[in-house]
Structure 1
Amino acid sequence: MFKKSIAALALGSALFAGQAMAADYIIDKEGQHAFVNFKISHLGYSWLYGTFRDFDGAFSFDAEQPEASSVQVTLNTASIDSNHAERDRHLRSADFLNASQHPTATFKSTGVEPTGEGTADITGDLTLNGVTRPVTIAARFIGEGQDPWGGYRAGFEGHTTLVLKDFDIKGDLGPAAQSVELIISVEGIRQ
């Protein structure tokens, strides 16, 4: 029912970078080219989808040394949007995201382990609802190159699943809704 940074979420994310030839990127949220989305079971009968509208982040990336990559994301927990205002108020409450006491969630990578061609596991610390826990994001490199405006971009997608109780989230919608899947899609602009 919530989805927090990591993103990646998000993030991140899901990003790679190298030391000697690493390039730094800012996540392009202004151009609507980055998303921190979530999916959670609703009572075991259907899926509830949503997104976080406000987040910032950056990453470093070098395709030659993906293990040296890094990513950081900060997410505004009150920006949750499940396409239903009353539900969003409940998700912001102390039952779930506790946005008044914990207005941000953060993800900071601690390691990147390549798992195949264009894929990697990004490990890092996610702080959500005042609780910090290690998480792993399964990341996939989408592509990189020049954009039509003279810039250079790189894009990634990542997935992870969070157990709500691990982050002291007290809301309980039954056995089918004990975890939430985060889907992070980011496009970064090289600085």
Structure 2
Amino acid sequence: MSTTASPLAGTFNADPVHSNFAFAVRYQGVSLFKGTLDAVEATLTDGKLEGKAQVESISIRTPEQFRAHVLSDDFFAADKHPEITFVSTGFDVAGDNTVEVTGDLTIKGITKPVTAKGTWVAPAPDAFGNTRAHLNLETEIDRTEWEINWNAPLPSGGVALANKVTLTIELALVEQA
């Protein structure tokens, strides 16, 4: 069993079973549509977070034709841009284990800076002889900044899909030897 001198020292890899990248967007002006990308890889090395999610791993509880539409050029263009990536430029943990992470988010080949806030659970021994930490982050983005522009007009005015999307990242991190 290893111990970590500082909460951000060492190398931690995301446990793929307990990690995901989720999104939520207002649909039809009233409902909240949610989905996840489950094929997530991430590494936190000495305070630098790098991660990626496979677009094809999107889990949406809808008919296959809708899933195909979300993977198409109208949304993620998964055939041309199979991954969503993030590379941090800053990782700040406050004394109360709140965290702010800044970095570059790439969707559809377009990279933009983002800031996410959340919680950090410092490394501790787990039941299997490993050292684990946990990172939960949330941010809001405007999907049109990444050229995810599809929409449809509503009969009462407005559009079917909001531009504001909430992203939530859950990373169960296991220290590497």
Give me the TM-score of the superposition, normalised by structure 1.
Answer: 0.80
SS of the equivalent of 1:90 reads: helix
Quick check: 1:93–1:99 contact (8 Å CA) kept in 2?
yes
Amino acid aligned to 1:36: F
Partner Cα separation in structure 1 for residue 121 and residue 24 of structure 2: 21
Q: Following the alignment from structure 1 to structure 2, what is the Cα–Cα distance between the partners of residues 109 and 175?
A: 33
Which residue of 42, 57, 78 corresponds with 2:27?
A: 42
Asked whether 1:170 is paired with 2:149, we answer yes
Unaligned runs of 5+ in 2: 1-5, 153-158
Match of 2:15 among 18, 23, 28: 28
Aligned residue pair count: 164
User: Considering only aligned residues, what root-mean-square deviation do their CA atoms show, in Å?
Assistant: 1.8
The separation in 2 between residues aligned to 1:150 and 1:35, in whole angstroms, is 23
% identity of equivalent residues: 27
**Larger RCO: Structure 1 or Structure 2 (Cα < 8 Å, ≥ 6 residues apart)?**
1
Residues 31-180 of structure 1: matches in 2 within 5 Å? 32-60=17-45, 69-84=47-62, 85-114=64-93, 117-173=96-152, 174=159, 177-180=162-165
State the Cα distance separating 1:96 from its structure 2 match: 0.5
| Higher-Rg member (1/2) | 2
CA deviation after TM superposition for structure 1 residue 71, in Å: 0.3
Q: Give the 4+ runs in structure 1 shifted more than 3 A.
A: 113-116
Distance in 2 of aligned mates of 1:81 and 1:111: 30
Q: For 1:138 and 1:169, how far apart are their aligned partners in 2?
A: 23
Q: TM-score of the superposition, structure 2-length normalised? A: 0.85
